[in-house]
Amino acid sequence: MRKAFAEDLRCPECGGGLRIEAGEWSGDHVETGFLLCACGGRFPIIGGVPRLLARDALGPVNESIRTAQAFGDEWRRFPELHVAHERIFHWYFEGQKVEWAGLRVLDAGCGMGRWLHFARMEGARVVGMDVSLAIEVAAAREGEQSDLVQADLRRPPFAPGAFDFVYSLGVLHHLEDPPLGVRGLAGLVRPGGEFRLYVYRTLDDEPAWRRALFAMVKALRLLTTRLPYPAVHALAWLIGAVATPLFLWPRRLLRRWRPGARLTEGLPLVHYADVPFRMLVAEQFDRLVAPIEGRFRREDVEGWLRDAGLDIVAILPGLGWRAIARKPASPTVPLTARGQAGRP
C-alpha cells in the first residue's frame, strides 16, 4: 500500500482519517502494519493490502458473508485473465464513450481485478475494492500498479466525492439490499462525475422455455449454494463439458450461415461460444455458488439511481441491465430525502 493511498482512506466505522502504524516497508509501500483511527478502529495491512472491514462485517456467518466467501474462493480458483475478458469489459462500457485517461476510478467489488486491469491499461488511476479475499488475487497480478483495499461497498472507506468515476459490475445483485449499495457508491462520485452498474435482469419477457430453464437452475442453486466448493467446481465442469458439444460447437459451426445462426441463437449458453473452456466453467461456478442472487426490472434500477440523487443517462439491455448515470454538477436532494422533508 502506498503511503499516499493511506491518506485517501477513511475509517469504515466513523468516517475519520487514519494514520499508519507500519511494521514492514518496501520503498514507499507498506507491506504489513495497521491503520489506526481516533475512534479506536484498528485495521490491519496484510500483504500490502489494507483490510478496512467494519466490525459488524465480521459477525456470525450469514447469507451475505457466505456469498463473500464464495466469491473469494471463486477468484482464487479461477484467477486467469482471458482475451474474452477484454471484449466483455468494452461491452460493459458501451453506450457512451469513457475517456479513461487520468480519471480517478473506483472498481467497487473488483474481485480478482479483471475490469480494473483494463481500465488501468486505458490510462485510468484505479482503486479496487472488494470485501472478499479475491482482493489478494488482484494484488498478486496488479502489484504496485493499482491501489487496492479489502472493504465492504456498503461501508466504503473513502471521503464523499472522492472519485471521478465509480462502477460496480455484477456485484449489486449479490447484496441483500442493492439500493443501499447504490446510495453508498453514489456518494463517492464527485459532482459531475459518472456512475455505472451492471445487474442481472428478470426474464419476464423471455420465451416460456427459457423461463422454465431458469427455474430449473434456480432450484439447482438451492442445493449447490450449500455444497463444498470443490463439488460445485466439479458440477460446473460437467455442465461445461456437456454444453460444449451440444450447444457451443453447433453455434460456432452454423452461425455464419443465416439459417444456422437463427437456428442456434437461442440455444443455452451460446453467449459463451467464444470463450475458453476454463472461463466457461468459471462462469457456471459463479452462477451456482453464491447464496444471494437477485434479478431486477428496469424500473427497479431506475428507482435505485434516482433515489441516490443521480441523473440517468441510459439503461442498456442485454443479459442484464447496464446503467449509466451522472452526479448532478449542483447538489440535488435524493427522492428518499425529499419524501422525508417536512416530517416532524
Rg (CA), the chain: 21
Domain co-membership, 26 together with 123:
no
- DSSP single-letter state for residue 201: B
Q: Are 325 and 305 in contact (CB under 8 A)?
A: yes
Question: Is the distance from CB of 94 to CB of 117 less than 8 angstroms?
Answer: no
**Alpha helix ranges (H) inside 247-323:** 249-254, 258-264, 277-289, 298-307
Q: Are 279 and 269 in contact (CB under 8 A)?
A: no
pLDDT, one tens digit for every residue, the chain (344 residues): 888 899 999 999 999 999 999 777 777 888 999 999 999 999 999 999 999 998 766 555 688 889 999 999 999 999 999 999 999 999 999 999 999 999 999 999 999 999 999 999 999 999 999 999 999 999 999 977 889 999 999 999 999 999 999 999 999 999 999 999 999 999 999 999 999 999 999 988 888 888 898 899 999 999 999 999 999 999 999 999 999 999 999 999 999 999 999 999 888 999 999 999 999 999 999 999 999 999 999 999 999 999 999 999 999 988 899 999 999 997 555 444 443 433 33
| Whether residue 83 is found in the same domain as residue 128 | yes
- Residue 294 has phi, psi (to 5 degrees) of -105, 160
Tell me: do 311 and 187 sit in the same domain.
Answer: yes
Together in a domain, 272 and 219: no
Residue 134 and residue 10 share a domain? no
Residues 267 and 334 in one domain: no
Residue 269 belongs to what H/E stretch? none
Instruction: Kindly state the greatest CA–CA separation across the chain.
Output: 68
Q: Which of 69, 53, 138 is nearest to 290 (CA)?
A: 69
Residues 285 and 301 in one domain: no
**In terms of domains, do 18 and 158 share one?**
no
The model carries a pTM of 0.91
* Cα torsion angle, 203, 204, 210, 215, sign: positive
Q: Give the domain range for residue 188.
A: 61-225+290-344
Domain count, the chain: 3
Same domain flag for 100 and 212: yes
Domain identity same for 6 and 23: yes
Residue reference for cell 419476464: 204
Q: Are residues 278 and 297 in the same domain?
A: no
% helix, strand, coil for the chain, step of 5: 40, 25, 35
| 109/181 same-domain check | yes
